[in-house]
Amino acid sequence: AGQITVSNAGNPIPATINSVTDLVSGVGAATVDCGAVTFPHVIAAGGQLVCTYQSALPNGSNRTNSATATQQLHNYNQNGAASEGGTKTYSGSATVDFSSATITEVNSSVSVTDTFAGNLGAFSDTGWTSYTRKFECDEDEGTHNNTASIVETGQSDSASVTVNCYQLAVTKNAQTSFTRTYQWDILKSSDDPNGHNLTLNVNEIYANYPYSVTVDVRGFTDSDWAVAGQITVSNAGNPIPATINSVADLVSGVGAATVDCGAVTFPHVIAAGGQLVCTYSADLPDAEGRTNTATATQQLFDYDQNGTATAGGTADYSGSANVTFGDPTTIVDEQVSVSDTFAGDLGTCDVDGAPCTFAYDRDFGPFSAAQCGEHRIDNTATFVTNDTQTSGDSSWFVVITVPCPTGCTLTQGYWKTHSVHGPAPADPTWDELPNGADTEFFDTGKTWYQVFWTAPKGGNANYILAHQYMAAVLNQLAGAASTPEVDAALSGAALYFQGVTNLDQKPPRPLRDQLISWAATLAAYNEGDIGPGHCSEDSLGLANNHD
């Protein structure tokens, strides 16, 4: 920038100027400002015109700056009258030299700010500064943009950091186990109405005395509660390895379980995408529900801007499983084998089928006259468990009395059913008759067996008396003592039947009343109300022995 002076000094006449321009070499026209002057402009004789100029330049190279004033020329005649007569230019130059230029410094010092670090200070020359920023997982996961800006110019530059957080996954299962041991009871019994005491005649058989053996579960005892399973520490889906310092397992209310990771030693590195599988086990005090928690402790690292790692704390990852108990995994003594001193092996019984009852019958007798008196017969049933061989037993006894001189009596219902024709086993007393049960009853044309099995229709006194007579005779043949009244009834009945050929012909009164009286005496004898008493064998028939 500068001044342009167009001078008319020393000239006695004015000068008309059409324009003033300025040109910078290599750049072009500069801006010229001549103030309030308008062109054409007359510079008085001896006067001057002062203008200013300015031009922006692309750089500090030396140049030439030329100013040009264009004068309007005039032609004058002899009378001094003027007319325009062309133009003439006058120039003046100056060298544009920056060696001594006045320098105005702009932004010679700038302030720089940062979106994270704040004010980074002033910079007066090329320079740099640094700061650190710590990112932590998981709160800093994601992309973090950061911009540094020159306050004075607004210039900026940005950088971003993407923080990827990778987590381990800990999963586990819980498999429970426990042992259940069963306890058993055994009971040997009989539902025979005679209970423990039987009375038999000489040579008499007491058939089908019923025995029953019942085994049942008394209870059980549970023990050996335990939990076991697998722990899986997974680095699946993660592109970087993970260092594990330890794997532990804890059962609520109990404490630490035993963890076995095989040949692995800690710290252990799980490769990217890999996993570590361990097993665990723990003994428990009972079957209470619990929570089982596995924990893997990971070694964390701090990384600098160069990726160099240093240990930086730890992180725990956990997985849980419920400890619940169902059916026992081991069953002890769930079955028993049952045997009996009389019947031998009775069979087995399982807990699912208990209680189990084993029944069998046993015959007692016959006893000879030399064996009269009391005979105690003991019988023991025993069980043995299938696993621990634990045993238990129960006994039942029967005291059999064989009256020595007097014997005992049996009802007509007994003798009716205990011949060779059945349905019960034959009593050997029948053999005392000439033809046993097939012996003819007096001269009636019917056998003793047929008479016994003929019902006294319409209250036929012949059959009523015949049934009690035959029973009384058989009782005495079996050794039962008599009484005078019984002897009298037997004699009267025998005398009567010697004259009877047709039992189906009912006797008239008052003869019928006599027959019924004898029958009543003999029935009382047969049933044990008089005489030596009835035998135990016939106790089941007492309710049905009257005609």
Q: What local confidence, expressed as pLDDT, does residue 547 receive?
A: 58
Q: Cis (ω within 30 of 0) for the bond into 239?
A: no
Dist CA 112 CA 151 (whole Å): 6
Measured over the CA atoms of residue 77, residue 83, residue 86 and residue 87, the dihedral's sign is positive
Per-residue model confidence (pLDDT) at position 405: 64
d(CA 173, CA 262): 18
Torsion of CA 501, 502, 506, 510, to 10 degrees: 0
499 dihedral zone (left: phi>0; alpha: psi -120 to 50; beta): alpha
Contact 37, 90 (CB under 8 A): no
Instruction: Show the low-confidence residues of the chain (pLDDT under 50).
Output: 539-546
3-state SS, residue 427: coil
DSSP-assigned states of every residue in 314-342: EEEEEEEEEE---S-SEEES-EEEEEETT
Separation between Cα atoms, residue 451 and residue 466, nearest integer Å: 7
Please write the tens of the pLDDT for every residue from 128-149.
998 888 888 889 999 999 999 9
pLDDT confidence of residue 544: 45
Q: Distance (Å, rounded) from C-alpha 534 to C-alpha 547? A: 18
What's the CA gap between 511 and 461, in Å, rounded? Answer: 9
Angstrom CA distances, 195 to 372, 394, 398, 400, 404, stand at: 20, 16, 8, 11, 22
Beta-bridge mates of residue 42: 16
d(CA 508, CA 493): 16
Q: Which residue has the tokens 């167009």?
A: 6
For residues 198 and 364, is the Cβ–Cβ distance under 8 A?
yes
pLDDT of 538: 60
Predicted pLDDT at 119: 95
For residue 355, say if its preceding peptide bond is cis, omega within 30 degrees of 0.
yes
DSSP type of residue 542: G
Please choose, from the candidates 35, 21, 30, 72, the residue with its C-alpha nearest in 3D space to the C-alpha of residue 54: 30
Q: How far apart (Å, rounded) are the C-alpha atoms in residues 445 and 518?
A: 23
Which residues in 151-267 belong to E strands, given as ranges?
156-163, 169-172, 175-189, 197-199, 206-234, 242-251, 255-256, 258-260
Helices 461-477 and 511-526, axial angle in degrees (round to 10): 30
- Peptide bond preceding 267 in cis form (omega within 30 of 0): yes
Can you tell me which residue has the tokens 């910079």? 123
Q: What is the pLDDT of residues 430-446, one digit of tens each?
A: 999 999 999 999 999 99
Strands 290-303 and 242-251: antiparallel
Do 100 and 120 contact (CB within 8 A), yes or no? no
| Residue 302 confidence (pLDDT) | 86
Distance CA 525, CA 480 (A): 10
β 330-332/175-189 pair status: parallel
Q: What is the DSSP letter of 294?
A: E
Q: Is this structure's pTM higher than 0.85?
A: no
Rg of the Cα atoms in the chain: 69
Structure tokens at 362: 């046993």
List all residues 6 or more positions away from 379 whose beta carbon is below 8 Å from its beta carbon.
188, 211, 340, 341, 342, 395, 396, 397, 398
